[in-house]
Amino acid sequence: MQIQITGCMFENMGRNMNTKSKVIVLPCEAYDEERIYTLMKNGLSQLGGLDNLINKEEKILLKPNLLKKAEVEKAVITHPVVVGAFARILREEGYKNIVLADSCGHGTTKQVIQGTGMDTYLEKYQKEYMESFWKIADVEIKGNEAVQQGIHFNLYHIIQAAGRDGHTGMGAKGLSGEGYEGHYFWDTEMYVLPVLIYTEPEVAKKLLDYRYGTLDQARERARILGHMKGALYPWRTINGAEASTYYPLGTAQYHINADIAYALSLYLQVSGDVEYLKEKGAEILIETARVWADVGSFAECKDGRYCICDVTGPDEYNVLVDNNFYTNLMARENLRDAVGAVSYLNENAPEVLSRLEEKIDFSIEEIEMWNQIIEKMYFPYDEKRQIYPMDDGFMMRKPWDESKIPPEKRAWLYENYHPLFIMRHRMSKQADAILGMYLHSNLFTEEEIRRNYDFYQEVTLHHSSLSTCIFGIVACDIGYLDEAYKYFSQSARMDLDD
């Protein structure tokens, strides 16, 4: 970590100074106050000490802000810990007029940073922040204190565990569990971001920034998988590189690309943040779409429909399948969103599109292929039951008989049975096709959704915490209110009761 001390726009801010005032810039991620204190003091001493920069008689205004760079009179301080280190130096040098600004910039607090002043500030900031969050995000449940507690518990875990610096995501177990070793999966985009988009859009944008920041690694991953263009995001990661070691349950889950594109598109639709589309969003949509245009083919045996083979959908009991319904549906909509983004830029910001074309060697002619895929995407369909099977072979598999599985082994099939035994049965670990139909429910009639829900109720084991919540939402949409409430209650209390 380096400390940068440079000239700035503020001139003649210190009496008896003939030079420009200085700015102290520290990276937000540097949270070790002792280290910051030492580095900052060394940096100041190189400039001859504070007296050469600031007049002791002047008020020193410090303004910490956890969310964005704060504007201050004498220094740019980006985190309360950095403020604490700087305030410590000021006190040691005999500066008395140290005033702490509030985080929103509405004025200064009466509190002067002295002794435990930062602790007092952080406590105040935390209370104000959480009060603001609950005012927007709280869902009031009347008549069921247990479910109300569960809702509060889950909302709090989401808001506390989400990365906020644009360089981190959100671990699948948040901050409270060691499972998955803190790695990020599709859970962030499909289950967390929709909550944050409507309650804390700035935090949602930071999570999307993380995906943009790892786009180069995703491009490298695509090349490893044989795609000469585009980007393929890792299934499991922290630093942008693929960390999954078992490809049938990892890299084969290509739908991660479409999941990220879905969350991005939702953010853009809700926020109307056109600048984000121009700066980062369009590039993500284009690069993810390019992989979908390369991974499949127009198959003669399917009447020229576009087929995607050897992928794994959200359901991890059916792996390396052909034409996973969820994957094909989400891929098509990823392509549709990419076409929309390119068309928008072409009409409203052609200079942005030109820069993108040069940066990633993109040609607008590529969307002709995308439109063909959108029109001809293949989806497995069972005429007899009038439902969408999860993949081409799903209806051929042996029906699952739960009664033959000892109760103590039912929730941990991969730990107790060979994968081939699991994969040869017609059953599902979690919401898969029904998740796709929920996310794009505008594309299906209520009767279609009801038929598919009824079918997947028969075959879904809900061996994932990502399952009952989706079934509960869909059950509510089609009028199965008792089932909906049962699934809702299970989802809300899952981490507290089990």
Question: Catalytic positions, please?
Answer: 316
Tokens encoding 160: 């506390």
- Decide if 183 contacts 243 (C-beta within 8 A): yes
The tokens for 79 are 């985190």
Residue 61: how many CB atoms within 10 A of its CB? 18
Please state at what angle helix 325-348 crosses helix 255-271, rounded to 10 degrees: 50
Residue 56 CA: distances (Å) to CA of 302, 367, 464: 80, 63, 61
Torsion sign, CA atoms 444, 447, 450, 452: negative
Q: For residue 142, what are the CA distances in angstroms to 132, 149, 473, 484?
A: 22, 11, 19, 17
Q: What is the helix (H) or strand (E) element at residue 299, kind and residue range?
A: strand 297-299
R_g over Cα of the chain: 27
| 8 A C-beta contact, residue 49 and residue 93 | yes
CB-count burial class (<10 Å; 0-12, 13-18, 19+) for 78 = buried
Neighbours of 240 (CB within 10 A): 21
**Got the DSSP string for 360-426?**
HT--TTHHHHHHHHHHHB----BTTTTB--SSTTGGGSEEP-GGGS-GGGTT-HHHHS-HHHHHTEE
If one counts every other C-beta atom within 10 angstroms of the C-beta of residue 116, the result is: 10
Q: Is 245 helix (H, G, I), strand (E, B) or coil?
A: coil
For residue 406, give both structure tokens: 């000892």
Phi, psi of 377 (to 5 degrees): -60, 135
Please tell me the distance from the alpha carbon of residue 294 to that of residue 291, in angstroms, as a whole number.
Answer: 5
Using the structure block, give the residue that is written with the tokens 């959100």. Answer: 170
